Amino acid sequence: MNKSTSQGNDKLLIDVGSTYFKVSTADSIEQHFRDFNKDILDDLVHRCGDTIDRFDKDDVHICSSANGGLSTLIIGVTNSFSLKYATNIAFNSGINIIDTILYQNIEEYSIPSDLVDVVIIVGGIDSCAGIFNESLYNYLSQLNYSNVVFVGSEQDAPVLKQNIENIAILPNIIDNKLHIVEEHLKEYLTNLYQQDIEGKEDIKNLYDITANQIYSTPYIVNKTLPHIDARYSVVDPFILLDIGGATTDIHYSKDLVDDNLVTENEYDRMVFKKLGVYKSKQSLIFAAQNNEFVYELLMHLKVTENIFNEQSEKATRILMQLAIFLVLCKISHYRKAYINLKLLAINSIVLTGGITKVLTTEEIEDIVSFFYKKILTSDHKPVVVLDTNYDIWTLGAKG
Amino acid sequence: MKVVTGVVGNDIHVVANRLIDLSLRARGFEVFNLGVNTYLEEFFDAVVETGADVLLISSLNGEAEGWSREVKPLKAKYKNLDNLIMMIGGNLVVGSGDAEQIVPKYKNYGFDLVCHQIDLNTGLDWLEELIEKRNLK
């Protein structure tokens, strides 16, 4: 077939999410709700076949978060160092963390029944030896996993290699000053993620329409952040919330973390896996019902708890407003996540994803100000910026 | 021998912290300095990650009092810290206080060595004596 209009800098950018897919050309951007009875490629061709046909495979760039990403379980020896460092690296590599295990209590943890894509074992600086023993091997023998990697003390590496089949050994992520060393584990996880995307049948089919590598969406977004001011007047420090159908991603300036984590990245990422307004709706409602301020927020929004049982546009709006509030709670001192951000120092909150098509700036500002008043007892008002046209994604996807 | 050190709580007395670091190194210790504004859990976690034998906490503005009350319950959550030498030094109360009352109080909080307004070198001599006594050297 002749690709008549694919020329010069024209590119077709496609983002496949768990709920929507977005298709962007130089002149337009369209968004479609996915048909889950169809294969992703069939669905795409059905909705946007004409547009796709206009482009050469070389000019089509696709990113996806729809495959759910890789799951990891991290076993580390302390919360402040090994678990925190590995968690940070996993998030920045686009990996979902299903659990973290404090090694000294490993016998008290239940074994996840689902297949874990990668187990990360970490602990000890290189001069520390004999950290792990039989309890680790017992736990692993009951766990169903595809990959296992050790990034702890180099003195323990040979013992683990002897006792754990097919374990990958990488340099320690904790150096002798107790600082984080990211690069090796990050590269390993990013490669695994890439292989996973390429291996998933649904995604694999998408290579019929592109000759380029398919990237994970968080990778593309993170790439854009240093250039965000090319599109918006965003004042540092800022957070970017991507509230999607299944998960919520938070990308944040490193200035917002007052912590022992010293990395070279300007921005980090955190994921709340079960916080979304479509696929993860039930867990979002559950989280809301367990938050003591939510009923006050519902009153503020002039609705009752019955809204959770409704299937309407209004119910979706309320869920999205709740999602913003819950995410802010999760990264504040009110609900301690693995990292707390200095929310009083934020100058801008950027929102991207489907939420920008549903809520107005005023509605979001209202929730943000409710959060600051109730949780942080402050009148602080960061500027809300809506990425309505998915500029952040297109900027990153264009490379 | 490995020592984890740092200044506890919301205390930014970095000069004393640096002097402790230098003095420990001069005596041949391997030092892991967590710096100022360090929380208790970070101290214990650093001991676990490094396999340190000694935890030396310093405090100059009286912050130690509040934090030290948490030492015993927190340390009890760790399974392998029974042999850790716990030392604290600096100005351990707000204003002035009587060492005869302060030292037993901090020992009761779980510290083996308590150096309230004691010269740094004297404190480190005490540390070396205790290490020798425990046959750790």
pLDDT band for position A274 (50/70/90)? low
Q: Which domain holds residue A96?
A: 71-182
A143 located within any domain: yes
In chain A, the number of structural domains is 3
pLDDT for B127 beyond 80: yes
Instruction: State pLDDT tens for residues B64-111.
Output: 888 899 999 999 999 989 999 999 998 888 777 788 889 999 999 999
* Residue B13 annotated among the catalytic residues of the structure: yes
pLDDT band for position B43 (50/70/90)? very high
A307 located within any domain: yes
Does A381 share its domain with A288?
Answer: yes
Q: CATH code at A336?
A: 3.30.420
Kind of pairing, strands B85-90 and B54-59? parallel
Domains along chain B with CATH numbers: 2-27+58-133 (3.40.50.280)
Instruction: State pLDDT tens for residues B110-123.
Output: 999 999 988 999 99
Q: What is the pLDDT of residue A388?
A: 80
A219 located within any domain: no
- CA torsion sign for A223, A227, A231, A235 is positive
Does A116 share its domain with A263?
Answer: no
In sequence order, the 6+-apart residues with CB closer than 8 A to the CB of A16 are A40, A44, A62, A63, A64, A65, A66, A203, A206
Q: Residue written as tokens 């995604």?
A: A203
Find the range with the poorest average confidence among A299-313, A324-338, B20-34.
A324-338
Does A63 share its domain with A99?
Answer: no
Instruction: State pLDDT tens for residues A153-197.
Output: 999 999 999 999 999 999 999 999 999 999 999 999 988 887 777
Give dist(CA A317, CA A336) in Å, integer.
26
A399 located within any domain: no
Does A62 share its domain with A174?
Answer: no
A4 located within any domain: no
**Cβ atoms B49, A78 nearer than 8 A:** yes
Give dist(CA A362, CA A140) in Å, integer.
50
* Chain B interface test: which of A80, A103, A177 (most B C-beta within 10 Å): A80
Q: What is the pLDDT of residue A195?
A: 79
Cβ within 8 Å, pair A79-B46: no
The neighbour count for residue A390, using CB atoms within 10 Å, is: 19
pLDDT band for position B129 (50/70/90)? very high
Interface of B with A in 75-94 (CB under 8 A): 78-80
Task: For residue B45, give the nearest of A78, A125, A127 by CB distance.
Answer: A78
Instruction: Determine the number of helices (DSSP H) and then strands (DSSP E) in chain B.
Output: 6, 5
Nearest C-alpha of chain B: how many angstroms from A375?
23
* Residues of chain A contacting B50 with CB distance shorter than 8 Å: 124-125, 127-128, 178
Does A149 share its domain with A37?
Answer: no
Does A118 share its domain with A63?
Answer: no
Does A41 share its domain with A62?
Answer: yes
Kind of pairing, strands B30-33 and A348-352? unpaired
Cβ within 8 Å, pair A129-B46: no
Nearest C-alpha of chain B: how many angstroms from A358?
43
Does A134 share its domain with A280?
Answer: no
Does A248 share its domain with A372?
Answer: yes
A315 located within any domain: yes
pLDDT for A5 beyond 60: no
A206 located within any domain: yes
Does A81 share its domain with A170?
Answer: yes
* Residues of chain B contacting A76 with CB distance shorter than 8 Å: none
Does A57 share its domain with A109?
Answer: no
pLDDT for A219 beyond 70: yes
* Residue B98 annotated among the catalytic residues of the structure: no
Taking 3-state DSSP, the helix, strand and coil percentages for chain B, each rounded to the nearest 5, stand at 45, 20, 35
Most confident of A82-96, A328-342, A371-385: A371-385
Crossing angle between the packed helical segments A84-92 and A183-199, to the nearest 10 degrees? 40
Nearest C-alpha of chain B: how many angstroms from A335?
18
pLDDT for A4 beyond 50: no
| 0.85 surpassed by complex ipTM | yes
Cβ within 8 Å, pair B49-A178: yes
pLDDT for A278 beyond 80: no
Does A88 share its domain with A128?
Answer: yes
A140 located within any domain: yes
Instruction: State pLDDT tens for residues A332-351.
Output: 877 666 667 888 989 999 99
Strand (E) positions, B10-101? 30-33, 54-59, 85-90
